[in-house]
Amino acid sequence: MTSSAAPASLEVSGLAFAYPDGHQALFGIDLTVGRGERVALLGPNGAGKTTLVLHLNGILTGGAGSVKVAGLPVEKRNLAEIRRRVGIVFQDPDDQLFMPTVREDVAFGPAASGMRGAELEARVHKALERVGMAEYADRPPHHLSFGQRRRVAVATVLAMEPEILVLDEPSSNLDPASRRELADILRALDVTVLMVTHDLPYALELCGRSVILSGGTIAADGKTADVLADEELMRTHRLELPFGFDPRAAAAKA
């Protein structure tokens, strides 16, 4: 799957992890995401998706195996650079947006890495522009609608110009229009995306490739249309399509 010369955006190999209470969440994960790819990470609740995501920027460490982001290993001495390269958008935008105004929130990441002044201002404006929220820069986040907050949350990590954008349930709690608007924004971005989601039509719409994580191992890795159409596979891993949704027909239409 990986493209030629440039190192893959994400290389996970042999990653295993057990929580301090003994619960083993990951059993040897191998996953490579090439530059510019959009990959959906599917799986039932408790499959280890969040655990995997928290390994990508070194919040969780200490298990076996390795994670590399654009060739740089996730290690203590690289953490600052890793966290700049891996932009995680968490599920609840109220957790993600912690500054008093939208502008300051988007500025937080780049400012933390030392950017100041006009350069910072330009970076913030560009990130907000990309999600269509530039005119809300001076608003406090709690005065925005949920969909707007989710878009600002995406801008906060875009402002760091990440190598890979990791989205945790990007479509959750969005009304259909906001959900589509977010899809348009994500499609227009020229960045590698790893999208954790239960929203299978959304995965089909946005991601050419899907990976099923189940019971702490990769259970499937292939074209989204094929993965979703494999009824046996889907049933085994507690994945269900919405009523009346036919992945083959939808993929053919797209």
Where does this chain bind another protein (CB under 8 A)?
54, 57, 59, 80, 83-84, 86, 88, 90, 92, 94-101, 104, 107-109, 111-114, 120, 138-143, 156-157, 160
Least Å distance, CB 151 to another protein, is 16
Cβ distance to another protein smaller for residue 81 or 221: 81
Compute the distance between CA of residue 191 and CA of residue 171 in angstroms, rounded to an integer. Answer: 18
**Rounded distance between C-alpha atoms, residue 204 and residue 237, angstroms:** 17
Least distance in Å: CB of 144 to another protein?
10
**Non-local CB neighbours of 96 within 8 Å, separated by 6+ positions:** 89, 90, 153, 156
C-alpha 174/C-alpha 184 separation (Å) is 14
CB nearer another protein, residue 27 or residue 90? 90
Q: How far is the CB of 90 from another protein (least distance, A)?
A: 5
* CA 153 centroid distance within chain: 12
From the CB of 30, what's the least distance to another protein, in Å?
24
Residue 173 is encoded by which pair of tokens?
């709690």
Question: Between residues 38 and 84, which has the closer beta carbon with respect to another protein?
Answer: 84
**Residue 100 CB, nearest approach to another protein (Å):** 5
The structure tokens 């994400």 sit at: 10
Nearer to another protein by C-beta: 94 or 231? 94
Q: Where are the alpha helices (DSSP H) in the chain?
A: 49-56, 79-85, 93-96, 102-112, 117-130, 146-158, 176-188, 200-206, 224-229, 231-236, 247-253
Q: Which long-range contacts (CB under 8 A, 24 or more apart) does 54-57 make?
A: 55/12, 55/15, 55/17, 55/26, 56/10, 56/12, 56/86, 56/88, 56/164, 56/166, 56/194, 57/82, 57/83, 57/86, 57/88, 57/166
Nearer to another protein, 29 or 166 (CB): 166
CB closer to another protein, 34 vs 110: 110
Q: How far is the CB of 99 from another protein (least distance, A)?
A: 7
Question: In terms of CB distance, is 64 or 112 closer to another protein?
Answer: 112
How far, in whole angstroms, is CA 128 from its chain's centroid?
18
Query: Residue 220 Cβ, how far from another protein at the closest point, in Å?
Result: 28
Cα–Cα dist 15/74, whole Å: 12
